[in-house]
Structure formats: C-alpha cells, structure tokens
C-alpha cells in the first residue's frame, strides 16, 4: 500500500509514526514522508528522539530549539 493511498483512503488521519529497531530507515522514511506531505500542502511536524541529529542533517538545518523551520 502506498503512502498516497493511505492518506487518500483516510483523509482524517492526523498522525503517522515510524518505529522499529535501529538501522531500518525510520528517520529517512520519516523525513521523506514529511517532505511529501508538505508538498501536498499539509502542515507537518517531524521530530526524532535519536541523539544522532540525523533529521537536521537530512534537512540541512539546525533544528534544535529554534522554533518552526520553513
């Protein structure tokens, strides 16, 4: 099932979370999903509890405690 189909069939969906053991691509998939949803005009909050700061590397932004990033 594609991500587009999930949101098309469940337009009321407000949250999506990715979990699992390390090295599965959760951060990469989360970032790609957030980017896709933003392109669809959705407001997106993406966060990680991983201390490696991979999200700020992916988005090439210092995202620590600075508020919203456009």
Q: What is the dihedral of CA 67, 6, 3, 39, to 10 degrees?
A: -50
Residue 34 lies in a domain: yes
Q: Report the pLDDT value the prediction gives residue 39, as an integer from 0 to 100.
A: 92
Residue 30 lies in a domain: yes
Total-model pTM: 0.72
Range of the domain at 31: 3-59
Residue 44 lies in a domain: yes
Give CA–CA dist 44/41, Å, rounded.
9
Residue 41 lies in a domain: yes
- Count the domains in the chain: 1
Residue 64 lies in a domain: no
Query: Residues near 30 by Cβ (< 8 Å), separated by ≥ 6?
Result: 18, 46, 48, 55
Q: How many other C-beta atoms are found inside a 10 Å radius of the C-beta of residue 70?
A: 4
Residues of the chain with pLDDT under 50: none
């Amino acid at each position: 099932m594609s991500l587009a189909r999930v949101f098309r069939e469940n337009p009321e969906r407000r949250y999506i979370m990715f979990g699992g053991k390390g090295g599965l691509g959760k951060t990469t998939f989360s970032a790609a999903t957030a980017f896709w949803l933003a392109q669809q005009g959705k407001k997106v909050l993406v966060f990680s509890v991983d201390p490696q700061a991979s999200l700020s590397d992916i988005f090439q932004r210092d995202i620590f405690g600075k508020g919203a990033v456009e």
